[in-house]
């Protein structure tokens, strides 16, 4: 339970530590539940495929096989040439690689059109 007052730096740190510990336990349970769910989904998918059906139901829920196609790049040089030659930049996601940028900045190489920013966070560990 979160205390409202009195607040000291030490009490806030202790509260954050307790919340972090609670989240760790919840995340462990979530991970286990997600793994169990994924295993059941794979079993159900195999059974539906074996029987040649795409939908079935239990007493409470209905399951349907959904398909979605994803694309991966196996030759970045060819892909990027196509993107820029055909002006198809919309095929790219606009996200920078932090490790890649850090590597260039550490080597004193300026990356045009970018700005660095620092995000702060609090790290809570056992005392």
- Please name the residues in contact with 114: beta carbons below 8 A apart, sequence gap of 6 or more: 96, 101
CA 46 from centroid of its chain's CA atoms: 26
pLDDT band at 120 (very low <50, low <70, confident <90, very high): confident
Region for residue 71 given its phi and psi (left: phi exceeds 0; alpha: psi -120 to 50; beta: otherwise): beta
- The arithmetic mean of pLDDT across residues 95-104, rounded, is 90
DSSP 57: E
pLDDT digit string, tens, across residues 44-84: 999 999 999 999 988 999 999 998 888 888 899 999 999 99
Please, what is the end-to-end C-alpha distance for the chain in angstroms? 20
pLDDT at residue 16 is higher than 70: yes
- Please name the residues in contact with 16: beta carbons below 8 A apart, sequence gap of 6 or more: 122, 124
Report d(CA 16, CA 34) in Å as an integer.
Answer: 26
- Percent of the chain having pLDDT more than 70? 91
Q: Which pLDDT does position 1 carry in this prediction?
A: 55
- Percent of the chain having pLDDT more than 90? 61
């Amino acid at each position: 339970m979160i205390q409202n007052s009195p607040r000291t730096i030490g009490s806030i740190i202790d509260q954050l530590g307790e919340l972090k510990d609670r989240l760790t336990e919840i995340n462990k349970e979530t991970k286990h539940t997600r793994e169990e769910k994924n295993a059941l989904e794979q079993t159900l998918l195999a059974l539906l495929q074996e029987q040649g059906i795409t939908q079935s139901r239990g007493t409470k829920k209905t399951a349907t096989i959904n398909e979605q196609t994803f694309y991966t790049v196996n030759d970045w040089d060819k892909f990027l040439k196509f993107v820029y030659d055909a002006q198809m930049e919309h095929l790219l996601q606009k996200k920078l690689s932090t490790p890649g940028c850090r590597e260039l900045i550490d080597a004193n190489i300026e990356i045009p059109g970018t700005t660095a920013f620092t995000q702060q966070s609090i790290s809570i560990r056992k005392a």
